């Protein structure tokens, strides 16, 4: 069974631009979560989608948004990029929503560099 895939793997943008990252979960998984990883902050939760609905949201500004499609694929969008948005963005999928203790399986991440 194919794992979680994320595209693109690497991305360079400039301040003020916007970016869209894509995540395809493991087949059959209906929940997708997004995380930001930076050296100083570790892994921080952005949001979780289950059945096309946002179930949970972390403490990130409104510039960070996401959505999930009927095939469970998810996209994350960051508008008006700032230098501090440079990070590894990880997507994780699980069979159901993580509130019932479902194990998440992570993709390789998208490395975003904002110049």
Residues near other proteins, by CB under 8 A: 4, 33, 35, 40-45, 48, 55-56, 58, 90-92, 97-101, 103-109
* Partners of 65 in beta bridges: 77
Among residues 21 and 90, whose Cβ is nearest to other proteins? 90
Provide CB contacts within 8 A for 60, sequence distance 6+.
36, 44, 46, 47
> Could you tell me the smallest distance in angstroms from the CB atom of residue 114 to other proteins?
19
Do residues 80 and 62 lie in contact, with contact meaning Cβ atoms separated by under 8 Å?
Answer: no
Among residues 18 and 43, whose Cβ is nearest to other proteins? 43
């Amino acid at each position: 069974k194919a794992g979680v895939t994320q595209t693109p793997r690497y991305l360079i943008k400039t301040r003020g631009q916007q970016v869209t990252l894509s995540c395809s979960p493991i087949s059959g998984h209906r929940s997708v979560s997004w995380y930001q990883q930076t050296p100083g902050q570790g892994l921080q939760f952005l949001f979780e989608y289950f059945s096309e609905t946002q179930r949970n949201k972390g403490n990130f500004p409104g510039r960070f948004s996401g959505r999930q499609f009927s095939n469970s694929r998810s996209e994350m969008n960051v508008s008006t990029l700032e230098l501090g948005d440079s990070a590894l963005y990880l997507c994780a999928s699980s069979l159901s929503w993580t509130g019932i203790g479902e194990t998440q399986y992570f993709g390789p991440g998208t490395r975003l560099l904002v110049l």
